[in-house]
Amino acid sequence: MRFVYCTYERHASRILDIFNEVIVNSTALFDYQPRSPESMIGWFAAKQQHQFPVVGYEDERGHLLGFATYGRFRAWPAYKYTVEHSIYIHQDHRGKGIGHQLLQELIKEAQRQQYHVMIGGIEATNTGSIALHEALGFTHAGTINQAGYKFGRWLDLRFYQLILPTPQHPTED
């Protein structure tokens, strides 16, 4: 098994499959409808435009088992050192430590790119994701009660943050 940087050409279809399974069967994504294949074009273009990594974990046959990425937390300039990340694992490979390895790799990427804070928004009943984040040093930063509505119930959104030692010399430009 190995880490890879995901590309549209090689990984879009598998990432779409993972996204859509999560949308249909869980509260990890607050979407209602599965995404279209065309949506991946814009998704990858936005990641590339802003130099946001999409790291993946493949098995020995080259099948993507999961991926992680981050993006802008908020649009205003003062948030430029903060990113919000997400991790998704194929349903057949959850609970095997892949998420832990992907998040560790994403933390390294965030430091390499000189970000200061990583934020994860986690639906409050997702105890596996909460435990993963806490194991890697993330702390609970607040909860928005009833932030979403899916599957006939209100969903609370818990935020977890990790403060990184980067950047060495932050600026306001």
pLDDT for 144: 98
What pTM did the predictor assign? 0.95
pLDDT for 173: 87
Domains of the chain are 2-163 (3.40.630.30)
The distance of Cα 33 from the centroid of its chain, to the nearest Å, equals 19
Radius of gyration for the alpha carbons in the chain, expressed in angstroms and rounded: 16
- Taking only the tens place, the pLDDT of each residue in 75-106 is 999 999 999 999 999 999 999 999 999 999 99
The residues of the chain scoring below 70 in pLDDT are none
d(CA 163, CA 89): 24
Which residues are paired to 144 by β-bridges? 157
Q: Is 32 helix (H, G, I), strand (E, B) or coil?
A: coil
Q: Which two tokens stand for residue 73?
A: 């937390």
pLDDT for 1: 81
Q: Which two tokens stand for residue 20?
A: 């859509």
pLDDT for 60: 93
pLDDT for 74: 96
